[in-house]
């Protein structure tokens, strides 16, 4: 009887490990649809059907931007008050490609997280009613001389204002930093599946701009725990979550009918028309 119970409990422990290994194999063996976007930049898309990834249908799109040479470079686009769909933001800046940026005020416009562009303050972080940081104010995308990095909150009250980086977009939660997986709280935002947008960096400087569709039959969306695994499987050693939900949009110039690669969920249809208006984007352009 003791032997039976021991085997039984060991089998229960092994089930999550086996499921994770199966998901990892499914993902790494995927034959992605690939398209060249510009020099050193490729677009990857894939529909995981028949509940094959995390026991759900998933549609993932990502842009891989290699570094060096004639690779495109990174910028932040924003409007301090007006909300604009990602595609229009991108066209305004003559971008090659773009994703939506950080969290914003849906009613009044503007980012609710710290934003600095070209050494000019655009928005301060709006703290909660207890004057504490929210879960998406403990990390940042930074851009210096058009190169991307990720930084972690140092615990001080004036952290983002003290950063010397030319461009700072506070967001989060942080998923990975320097090959260390960040501990995520078990709050609903992290555990529940939603459309997601993320930025990741590989050790060689390659940047991943990724969207996962959600709230659809063909794509359930992901928890942040699942998103972290995806970014690791893509080879990222640092990664950060950006605003998701109805904001999640990946746009590539001259792609399809309107440039939108993923299936934004705001119109509740499986098409490329349901973009939500946002306050800012991260975009790429040809090197000056």
Supply the range of the domain harboring residue 257. Answer: 32-285
pLDDT of residue 3: 52
Q: What pLDDT band is residue 5 in, cutting at 50, 70 and 90?
A: very low
Say whether pLDDT at 17 is over 60.
no
Which pLDDT belongs to residue 19?
Answer: 57
pLDDT in tens, 259-285: 999 999 999 999 999 999 999 999 999
Give the pLDDT confidence score for residue 84 in this predicted structure: 98
In a domain, 128, yes or no: yes
Q: How many domains does the chain have?
A: 1
CB 169 within 8 A of CB 184: no
pLDDT tier, 4 (very low <50, low <70, confident <90, very high otherwise): very low
pLDDT score of 14 more than 90: no
- DSSP per position, 189-233: HHHS-B-EEEEEE-TTS-EEEEEE--SBTTB--B-HHHHHHHHHH
Is 22 within a domain? no
More confident residue, 15 or 195: 195
pLDDT at residue 150, as a whole number: 98
- Specify if 12 maps to a domain: no
pLDDT of residue 12 exceeding 70, the answer is no
Query: Residue-wise over 63-96: b if at least 16 C-beta within 10 A, else e?
Result: bbbbeeeebbbbbbbbbeeebbbbbebbeebebb
Least reliable range by pLDDT among 68-72, 126-130, 171-175, 252-256: 126-130
If one counts every other C-beta atom within 10 angstroms of the C-beta of residue 255, the result is 18
Establish if 24 belongs to a structural domain: no
Give dist(CA 239, CA 198) in Å, integer. Answer: 7
Residue 74, domain member (yes or no): yes
Residue carrying the six token digits 């590989």: 202
Tens-place pLDDT, residues 28-44: 999 999 999 999 999 99
Q: List, for residues 78-108, the tens digit of each pLDDT value.
A: 999 999 999 999 999 999 999 999 999 999 9
- 188-193: average pLDDT: 98
Using a cut of 0.85, tell me whether the model's pTM lies above it. Answer: yes
- Tens of pLDDT, residue by residue over 146-178, are 999 999 999 999 999 999 999 999 999 999 999
- 186 C-beta neighbours (distance < 10 Å), count: 7
- Is residue 122 one of the residues assigned to a domain? yes
């Amino acid at each position: 009887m003791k032997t039976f119970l021991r085997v039984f409990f060991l089998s229960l422990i092994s089930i999550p490990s086996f499921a994770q290994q199966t998901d990892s194999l499914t993902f790494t063996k995927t034959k992605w649809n690939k398209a060249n976007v510009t020099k050193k930049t490729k677009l990857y898309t894939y529909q995981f059907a028949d509940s094959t990834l995390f026991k759900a249908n998933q549609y993932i799109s990502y842009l891989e931007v290699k570094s060096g040479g004639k690779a495109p470079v990174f910028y932040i686009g924003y409007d301090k008050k007006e909300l604009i769909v990602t595609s229009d933001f991108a066209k305004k800046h003559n971008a090659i490609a773009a994703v939506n940026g950080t969290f914003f005020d849906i009613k009044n416009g503007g980012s609710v997280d710290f934003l600095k562009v070209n050494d000019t303050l655009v928005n301060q972080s709006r703290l909660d009613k207890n004057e504490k940081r929210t879960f998406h104010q403990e990390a940042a995308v930074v851009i210096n001389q058009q190169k991307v990095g990720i930084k972690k909150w140092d615990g001080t009250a004036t952290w983002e204002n003290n950063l010397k980086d030319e461009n700072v977009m506070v967001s989060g939660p942080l998923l990975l930093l320097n090959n260390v997986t960040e501990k995520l709280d078990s709050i609903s935002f992290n555990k529940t599946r939603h459309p997601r947008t993320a930025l990741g960096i590989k050790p060689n400087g390659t940047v991943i701009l990724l969207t996962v569709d959600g709230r659809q039959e063909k794509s359930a969306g992901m928890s942040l725990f699942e998103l972290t695994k995806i970014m690791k499987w893509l080879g990222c050693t640092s990664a950060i979550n950006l605003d998701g939900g109805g904001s999640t949009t990946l746009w590539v110039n001259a792609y399809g009918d309107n440039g939108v690669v993923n299936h934004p969920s705001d119109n509740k249809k499986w098409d490329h028309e349901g973009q939500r208006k946002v306050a800012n984007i991260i975009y790429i352009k040809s090197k000056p």
